[in-house]
Structure 1
Amino acid sequence: MTRGRPRTAIGTFGEIAVTDLGGSYRALARYRDLDGRLRKVTAVGSSPRAAQARLKERLRQRPGYGSGGVLDAGSGFGELCELWLADLALRDISEGTKANYRDDLRLHVRPAFEAYTLGEITTGRVEWFLKQQAAISYSRAKHLRTLLNQMFGFALRHDGIGRNPVEGTSPLARPKHQVHALTLEQVHALRAAAAEWRTGPGIKGPQPDGKVRDICEVLLGTSLRPGEALALRPCDVAETPSGMVIHVRGTVVRRAGTADYRQDHPKTHASNRRLAVPEFAAEVLRRRMARMGPDERETTIFHNRHGGVIALHNLRRTFRDFVVDAGLDGLGITPRWYRRTGATVIARGVGLDAAAAFLGHTSTAVTEGHYVAVDETVDTGPARALELTLRPIDPDPRLLIAPASAQEEDLLARVDAEQAAEP
């Protein structure tokens, strides 16, 4: 069977026919519009060449001329990068997340694919790239896969490709974690080191005021991200018949070229949450707030001598001293390990859903204006588990020494992934 004439591609036209009208000429072509229909387009000129030129100008100005989209298979990867970055700037996500995407694109993704057109970037090429990155760092490969998936999804929506090449790549194999949480012995050692830091004889300079020690106790008792703990204010704390409740609605962030500052919203929408606080951490917050005046309700509870926020790098630097003094250096312990530890305790003592909600990974709470009574909306189970397991006096070790489940591995992998994604 013989084939018919090839179908005209959308955004293109067929042969141009010129007709002599007696003193003028008409050029005509059939143009396939974005809806797939062929339509006649004409132009008149004083000569055949003039008529054709005028017709081509009309065709170029017609909506969808070329491909029907802003990209096509012949577009360079660099073109996609510029368009995607412009779209990224308009998205309703945190500036820190945007900065991480830009850095990953500049340092890793763009150098690997910039020499290709979109039509040349196959699933195999993406697979090879991700395997190379995974050999260096699982977390990096995971983030770059997310970035590429977003970029090629953007290209797909703008007619640059017919299929997202990331979708066919094999799952990344997450390496097994050797250590997920602090042991009770490590918790006690860090507490002792924090209490004795720079208090011995012969120490020069001002005596420590215990801020970082108290921040660590709050981190241990709340599983907050470090920036969330540093952003807490007296107006975020409420005493209820069931105990202290905090409202997490901000975080301290760090941006290149600026000092750390308090951002008026946490990392994600799910991170805006109310949490019951175990008594050992509530005592620390009460003691700190007792030193603050009534006009400081919107000042961070943990602030520097000028009333500003404590910088994240200062917290980490002092904590490294605690780790060394506790004899735990070499294990990679950071303030984030308190969040791992809390996640482990809550997952084993209350359940994975409760742990995820407490960490701010999921949330069933509505906006602040629609909260019902605090006692009825705040789950006190996680605080009870944390108090029982991590209190300074007579802690119960059973939850921390229990075996981990596969679901718990997934939860802790998310905790580690969010750490790697932040500056």
Structure 2
Amino acid sequence: MPIGSWGQISTWVAETDDKGKPTKHKSQARFRDHDGRLRPVSAYGKTRTAAERALLKKLQDRANTSRSGELTAMHKINHLLDLWEKRFEALIVDGKRSPTSLDTYRRVLKNHIRPAVGELRIGEATTPRIDTVLTKIKTTAGASTAKTSRAVISGAMKLAVRYGAITVNPVREADTIEAPTKNPPRALTGDEVRLLRTSLANDERAVEADLPDLTAFMLGTGVRIGEALAVLWHQVDLEAGTVQITHTIARIKTEGLIRKATKSNAGERLLHLPDWTVAMLRTRHATGIHLDEPIFADTRRGYRDPSNTRRALRTALSPIGSTARHDLGTSLKLLRRQTGMTRKQVADHLTWPQTRIELIETGRIKVDLQMITTLVAAYGVQLEHHHPLLAQLHDATQPAESDKLAWIRSHALRKTVATTLDQAGHTARQIADQLGQAKVSLTQDVYMGRQAANPAAAQALEDAFDPISADNTVSRQP
């Protein structure tokens, strides 16, 4: 018998009452265990049928347990994905993978991979079929989600190869996923940094969210926003002007906010602080602190959620552009309320992010004709026939000073630090160490803004290929 299978089931009366009527039946079969040995497995029931059903359930459970270390081409991919998840969980326990990565993978598994291939047999997962699935995911969810899906399916199929279910990973030959070229790294200029800090300092909501000092700390260190929120006061040495970066804050679906180790060993680092950053920290320190509390705590002196902090920063960097935008947003809010729709209902109807509706209604986003036409159509209004709204839209589309900040996200601060150090002559390795990145190539490709020109290159070419200098050299030859 193959491992995990059983022989013929036998059933007999195990007990009777005083009148000889059967009250208990026993079913038994021989089961071939994972070590190859045959063992008897028994189950009991009041009736013959009940005993056999109990035994069958017991045998099936035992078979699934014995198969945890093996796979066949007939197993469903859902079973393979379960094994892959368990293996990833073990790697997290060993500190080799991040729990936030597993959260990301589980979302992709639930929303895309399992619905598409979960009920297929492992042997049915051919390269053409996987290629079709990935293409569909790219079309419906985008290239980034498709790349993540490809990585998960490939990892699972690699596991199937190691377990002997298949001989070749079918994802290996699937078409690569090409994504649109990303915008080149963009760093803030000196004027933009000054405008940013002034805007945050003058925004009551930004001050309430403690964004001015947090932004200053990130500009003075180049740390990730989660790393900044994880720094405790005892990790700061104001006399030496240093800070230890050892952890980051992350939200895990089943655990909530946790303070976990940095992404890699390179993430653990000692950074020297600029004097203006030290001065800011001294000011905060003077208000009274506890050494075991985070520098940038929430209202309960606990850890802040990085996602909520990013959202607050996006809102602060999209200030009310002008009175005209504010007036237009008020009119649009009134139209929405007249229809009885909530922001979420409008967003779902238009397949927009809900935050876009909020930013429009508060005057914190640059609007255009197409955007507002689409929005008011959801309210049953034809924009070309609503002349007061058209007039407000005309005024609201005029440029505003705040538009210069709308593109900035928290990662732009890291790029600004990297580019500033690059311009100051620091090596790529030194900049990678400051940012906590193990791979210098990532720092160069993603975080360091390209230089507009290299004056030294022009001088070198001048000296090497100047035709006048070459003629003089020739004429001086005997």
**C-alpha displacement at 1:73, in angstroms?**
1.2
Q: Which residue of 2 aligns with 1:75?
A: 75
Partner amino acid for 2:220?
A: G
- 3-state SS of the aligned residue for 1:169? coil
Q: Which residue of 1 aligns with 2:273?
A: 277
Partner amino acid for 1:168?
A: E
Superposed CA deviations along residues 252-294 of structure 1, whole A, max 9, x for unmatched, are 2223476534x1422333322222333333332333233334x
Instruction: Provide the C-alpha distance between the structure 2 equivalents of 1:173 and 1:346, rounded to a whole number of angstroms.
Output: 32
Tell me, which stretches of 5 or more residues in structure 2 are unaligned? 4-28, 39-62, 320-400, 455-478
Q: Confirm or deny that 1:309 pairs with 2:303.
A: yes
Q: Give 1 or 2 for the bigger CA radius of gyration.
A: 2
Q: Which residue of 1 aligns with 2:120?
A: 116
**Residues 264 and 438 in structure 2, CA contact (< 8 A), matched pair in contact too:** no
Superposed CA deviations along residues 4-47 of structure 1, whole A, max 9, x for unmatched, are xxxxxx979xxxxxxxxxxxxxxxxxxxxxxxxxxxxxxxxxxx
1:246-395 equivalent positions in 2, closer than 5 A: 246-256=243-253, 260-261=257-258, 263-293=259-289, 296-325=290-319, 327-328=402-403, 332-346=407-421, 349-362=425-438
What is the aligned residue count? 310
Instruction: Provide the C-alpha distance between the structure 1 equivalents of 2:166 and 2:453, rounded to a whole number of angstroms.
Output: 43
Q: Confirm or deny that 1:193 pairs with 2:242.
A: no
Q: Which residue of 1 aligns with 2:173?
A: 168
Instruction: Provide the C-alpha distance between the structure 2 equivalents of 1:307 and 1:60, rounded to a whole number of angstroms.
Output: 53
Superposed CA deviations along residues 146-205 of structure 1, whole A, max 9, x for unmatched, are 222221122222112211122223433343222522331432322121011129xxxxxx
Partner amino acid for 1:161?
A: I
Partner amino acid for 2:252?
A: R
Distance 1:60 1:356, change over 3 A: closer
RMSD (CA atoms): 3.8
- 3-state SS of the aligned residue for 1:171? coil
Partner amino acid for 1:362?
A: A
**Residues 346 and 352 in structure 1, CA contact (< 8 A), matched pair in contact too:** no
Superposed CA deviations along residues 192-246 of structure 1, whole A, max 9, x for unmatched, are 21011129xxxxxxx9457211101111222211111011112212357xx6322
**C-alpha displacement at 1:61, in angstroms?**
6.5
Partner amino acid for 1:260?
A: L
Q: Confirm or deny that 1:94 pairs with 2:68.
A: no
- 3-state SS of the aligned residue for 1:260? strand
Q: Which residue of 2 aligns with 1:222?
A: 221
More helix by share: 2
**Residues 229 and 294 in structure 2, CA contact (< 8 A), matched pair in contact too:** yes
Q: Which residue of 2 aligns with 1:62?
A: 36
- 3-state SS of the aligned residue for 2:318? helix
Q: Greater relative contact order: 1 or 2 (C-alpha under 8 angstroms, separation 6 or more)?
A: 1
Q: Which residue of 2 aligns with 1:244?
A: 241
**C-alpha displacement at 1:340, in angstroms?**
2.9
Tell me, which stretches of 5 or more residues in structure 1 are unaligned? 1-9, 13-53, 200-206, 365-381, 383-398, 406-423
Q: Kindly, what percent of the aligned residue pairs are identical?
A: 24
**C-alpha displacement at 1:59, in angstroms?**
9.2
**C-alpha displacement at 1:323, in angstroms?**
1.1
- 3-state SS of the aligned residue for 1:328? helix
Instruction: Provide the C-alpha distance between the structure 2 equivalents of 1:165 and 1:360, rounded to a whole number of angstroms.
Output: 36
Instruction: Provide the C-alpha distance between the structure 2 equivalents of 1:290 and 1:181, rounded to a whole number of angstroms.
Output: 36
Instruction: Provide the C-alpha distance between the structure 2 equivalents of 1:332 and 1:218, rounded to a whole number of angstroms.
Output: 20
**C-alpha displacement at 1:401, in angstroms?**
6.7
Partner amino acid for 1:250?
A: H
Q: Normalised by the size of structure 1, how large is the TM-score?
A: 0.63
